[in-house]
Amino acid sequence: MLLAAVLVAGCQSKQPATPANTPTPLVSSCLSGFRMDDLELMVKRCDEAIEQTPDQADLHRDRALVLTLLGDQAKACDDVTTAVSLLKRSSQPVDPMLQHELQVRQSSCKQSRTMAGSD
């Protein structure tokens, strides 16, 4: 009986591979379960989420927030710039709050660069 079950299980076809044109599901946030006491973990979560869905502007915005909290303003501003660029290229409707938040952060980045004499 066991032998029959093994043989039948071994003969079943494998699940079909996901087609290449199937869209990657969106990651809602990399900040779920946010932990102020482990910001490096939060950056890692955001890195992983961005690796899965690199064209999602809100993930870059989230990572920029964590990087700002870590004091890495330059990398945070890079993420803000990337997020703004993604929104400009998007064919989907843009969340006005996300757009406004990124504009405010972009202004803050410009001000920081100006104060540092690099803009």
Fill in the DSSP letter of residue 119. Answer: -
CATH code assigned at 73: 1.25.40.10
Q: What is the pTM of this model?
A: 0.75
Helices (H), the chain: 2-11, 39-52, 57-69, 73-89, 96-115
Domain total of the chain: 1
Q: Quick: pLDDT tens for 57-95.
A: 999 999 999 999 999 999 999 999 999 999 999 999 999
At residue 26, the pLDDT reads: 61
User: Residue 21 falls within a domain, yes or no?
Assistant: no
User: Residue 95 falls within a domain, yes or no?
Assistant: yes
User: Residue 9 falls within a domain, yes or no?
Assistant: no
- Domain range for 71 is 31-115
At residue 116, the pLDDT reads: 85
